[in-house]
A and B are shown apart, each in its own frame.
Chain A
């Protein structure tokens, strides 16, 4: 069995003033797994995403991504880790206005040491994969909400990450567009990428293989769907 892609052991995250966003959380996510981290707002799930995504460091406990202990890595090593292994999808897309969909996606490869020509090729391929082959030269304001989020997914996807972290990916979308995005994430999982979705939407979470429920900074439930 290969090592887990994410491994949290007794992780806590305290903020100044004694507020604990995470308390003693242990969680392991295997390669290629599909996990929903679900909980009401303020339950610590965003902090969880930041810790897993190495954007934030734990106050206590150990975090390992793809077998690499995060505590032992400095800031630029963590950046390199993110560049090659982790893709992010945000609720509000974070697309650059005034830049074509193709260049938005190509820009996501900037910190992987890829030359511009190849970045564009890979971006075009990624956009085709999310069904936006016909939207390459469109600017974000010319895209619908669902198309924007699919562009953002293509941007994460172009780097071929081992782990895709999505923070409320359907939160800003209507149900039809949201469904398209969910199908896309499920497809990525089937193609072998570990997908972690953070959501407060229990119905959405119920469609995933595994649900980790959080409340007040603690992991209160870790449900796996029975194998069919």
Chain B
């Protein structure tokens, strides 16, 4: 080694130098790290909350399945409401790829009231449907309180309420067995459904048994909507033959949809919104970076004597540059680290509040730290170069 080769600083010494600079001005360090922390926390929380919400939707889709198809009669060529023949349930049941079939039929003229004292106009917008007994199983819905209809209650004036319908009627969980005024006679509430994610319409409906509808409310037996669970691998095949099977006379009138598509679309819409919020987080991060640069520039001005002393002790320009760059990086890493923790905590808190699973993909904190390092490097470069360029005599004379 040439005797005039400057010594290399060990990484640990660079770290100590950086920490020394920060320790000397704790308040300023906290304030400028805060800027970075807010930016990173905002980005992490935005991404974390959005991925957690999507994880929740995906989990829901997983649980509910994407193999449910629904078929409605739609409208005829002349714009009139079409109907599907009652036999279509049996016909669909004979298709091998169909795992389950169920149906509901609207009782268009029936209204439900809490009692017979309520004026007729205050129907609350609740729909009344006759439902087949296998509806609950086919939709993957559950009962929140009481029981679902069975062979016996389906024949008698018994009613099961949708989740929101129960709230509207003012019937709480403890009031199973209460009478309600439905279609001009008393029905007994036997159960309340939990919200049906795949068919939210049912939340605002009340359901009675198919035979009970025919017996008490002049139900004509026409099907309003058919629900079909297809074998997961054969969803598209079933979709193709659903219309001609459900209504062989007018297959073009049948509207077929896949209820899980709405949930999937919700998940996709979330993604677009995330992009916007992420942009806002990036702006906050940029402002944080400017804060770090500002702190470093002031630090260099204040520490000219220290720079001069170090130069007199044999520090090269490179050593000085490294010291200040290291300080800027450490400062923003400090902010970034806090930001990651805060962002993760916010995500967890929010997800817990919403009852979602917490899902923060690994790339989010890693990306956040990488962005922090980049910001620190960019913010620290100019002050570090300024510090290194300072002539030793000028620096020392600064006192």
Chain A contacts to B: CB under 8 angstroms: 50, 53, 55-56, 68, 73, 75-77, 79-84, 86, 88, 90, 92, 94, 96-99, 108, 110-116, 155, 159
Contact = CB atoms under 8 A, between A and B. Distances in A.
B313 A80 contact: no
A77 B4 CA distance: 5
Measured as residues with beta carbon below 8 angstroms from the partner, the interface class of chain B is: 20 to 34
Interface of B: 3-10, 12-13, 16-17, 20, 23-24, 305-306, 308-319, 391-393, 396, 399
Given A55-B312, A76-B317, A112-B314, A99 B7 contact: no
Nearest to A51: B393
Contacts of B16: 116
B363 to A, nearest CB: 37
Given A90-B396, A96-B306, A108 B6 contact: no
A55 B13 contact: no
B312 A116 contact: no
B393 A56 contact: yes
Nearest to B16: A116
What DSSP secondary structure best describes chain B's contact surface? helix
Contacts, number: 93
Contacts of B8: 113
A84 B396 contact: no
Contacts of B391: 56
A114 B9 CA distance: 9
Contact of B311 (A79, A84, A99, A112): A79
B4 A68 contact: yes
A75 B316 contact: yes
26 contacts: A53-B312, A55-B311, A55-B393, A73-B4, A75-B317, A79-B6, A79-B314, A79-B317, A80-B4, A80-B7, A80-B316, A81-B314, A84-B314, A88-B312, A88-B313, A90-B396, A92-B399, A94-B305, A98-B23, A110-B13, A110-B313, A111-B6, A111-B310, A111-B313, A112-B314, A159-B313
Contacts of A55: 311-312, 392-393, 396
Contacts of A94: 305-306, 308-309, 396
B9 A110 contact: yes
B312 A80 contact: no
